[in-house]
Each structure stands twice: as structure tokens, then as C-alpha cells.
Amino acid sequence: MIRVNGVLVSPGRKPVYGERMAGGYRVWDPYRSKLAALYEIGGAPDISREMVVLYLGAAHGTTVSHVADYACCVYAVEFAPGPMVNLIKTAEMMENIIPVLGDAANPASYFRLLERADILYQDVAQPGQAAIALANMAFLKPGAPFVIMLKTRCVRVESDPAMVCSESVQTLGRNGCTVERVMWLEPWHRDHAAIVGKAPLHPFTPPGEEP
Ligand code: SAM
């Protein structure tokens, strides 16, 4: 990933949502983006120009826009109509963002719009985050990397964040994923863990098209 004087940036030529510029590149603020925080910590897979990204929980497109600066194209799934309005505006500025209005928990509703992705990034901040990721693994190339941002308080507010995270890791592992590492995003984002791993080595079978 690119840094200008130690500051994480993405290689866009003009601001998309009012962010600062540095050395002609867009500053990617770890306080505004969990993925930027993970790059600050280290250990996240790099995104490169040939990669197709499946992004679940796109919101207004803030982080999506930085990912799109690095990637070939980003399928950006969001189910809330409000954020989708801004996401579409962002996509109008960046032609490699494909906004998808859909529920990531029900990927059968949008699988015909997608191509197989080289990496999954998920930031849906709701219960059942591991199950949502698993439901979308079929859209990934076998063994492709994933990053799941786990907001532990959305899973169970009363439970120990480490325990919630460990349960999600076990769920992913039981279903054929390889979890490589878990990183907590303090000081930028409290009670958020990034789960980084690889998708199962299964052949691609879109939901609803099982033999
Ligand atoms: N990733 C965004 C960023 O960094 O700019 C922030 C994402 S915000 C924490 C979580 C988003 O996920 C919200 O916009 C919410 O509407 C969306 N979301 C939650 N559950 C979803 C689901 N099942 N399908 C699609 N989007 C979902």
C-alpha cells in the first residue's frame, strides 16, 4: 500500500468525500476506515490492480472508494437505501465501483450480478457476521483471502469481545475457512476485530445452483 511521508493514501487524483490530499494522493484515515486501521497495524492482504473485490457493507462508499483506487473493480453490496444514494454518487465518480442493492445475508438475490472475486472484505456490523461471510464464500475464487471486520458488540453486547471473536473464528474454521490471524483495531476502533483468512478450497457453486 502507498504511503506519503508515512501517511496511508490511495492513488486517486482528487477527493471523493472531502478527504485531504497528500503528494497528489487521497489520504486514507484509519479513524474513518477500519480497513485503513488494519493496514496501519499490518497483516492485511494487499489489494492490487488486477483484483476483483467483493465488498459487503459498503455504506456511503468511503472505504469502498479507497479500495477502488487500488483494485480492478469493486462489487459493493449495501442493503440500506439511504447510504446507497451516496454509494451511487461515489460510483458515478469512479467507474470501477459496482453498487449492488442487496442483503448480504441472502446472496442468492444478487449472485447473477457478480463475477468471482479475488478477495472478500466484509464490514456489516450486525449479528451473524460469520454466517454472512460464509454465505458469500461461494463468490470467491477457491482459497482467496478474506477480511471480516467483526463488531463484537453487534453480535452480543453483554459478552466478552474476545469470546465473541473466538466463536466467529471457530464457525469459520468448522466451515472450511482457514483463519490466519485476528487483529484488534485499537486505538482506532474499539471492540472491533479483523479476522483475516482464506476461503475454502471448494469449486464455485452459486447459491441456488447446487447440483
Ligand atoms: N464499510 C463502511 C466504510 O468503511 O465506509 C462502513 C460500513 S457500516 C459499519 C455497516 C454497513 O453495513 C451499513 O451501511 C449497513 O447498512 C450495512 N449492512 C448491514 N447489514 C447488511 C446486510 N445484511 N447486507 C448489506 N449491507 C448490510
DSSP H or E segment with residue 193: strand 192-198
C-alpha cell at 194: 479483523
Determine if ligand 1 sits within 6 Å of the CB of residue 105: yes
The string of DSSP letters for 115-137 reads --BSEEEE---SS-HHHHHHHHG
pLDDT for res 205: 59
Task: Return the residue matching grid coordinates 459498503.
Answer: 58
In this structure, CATH architecture of domain 34-198: 3-Layer(aba) Sandwich (3.40)
152/165 Cα distance (integer angstroms): 7
Q: What is the pLDDT of residues 105-141, one digit of tens each?
A: 999 989 889 999 999 999 998 888 999 999 999 999 9
| Ligand 1 centroid, distance to 23 Cα (angstroms) | 31
- Give the pairing of strands 25-27 and 21-22: antiparallel
| Ligand 1 centroid, distance to 180 Cα (angstroms) | 24
What are the distances in angstroms from CA 3 to CA 25, 63, 195?
9, 16, 24
Determine if ligand 1 sits within 6 Å of the CB of residue 121: no
C-alpha cell at 20: 485531504
Determine if ligand 1 sits within 6 Å of the CB of residue 65: no
Q: What is the pLDDT of residues 154-194, one digit of tens each?
A: 666 677 778 888 999 999 999 999 999 999 999 999 889 99
The answer to whether 11 touches 23, Cβ cutoff 8 Å, is no
The answer to whether 183 touches 38, Cβ cutoff 8 Å, is yes
pLDDT for res 161: 79
Determine if ligand 1 sits within 6 Å of the CB of residue 125: yes
pLDDT for res 209: 56
Residues composing the chain: 211
Q: Is the pTM of this model over 0.85?
A: yes
Average pLDDT over all residues of the chain = 92
Closest ligand 1 atom to the C-alpha of 34? 4
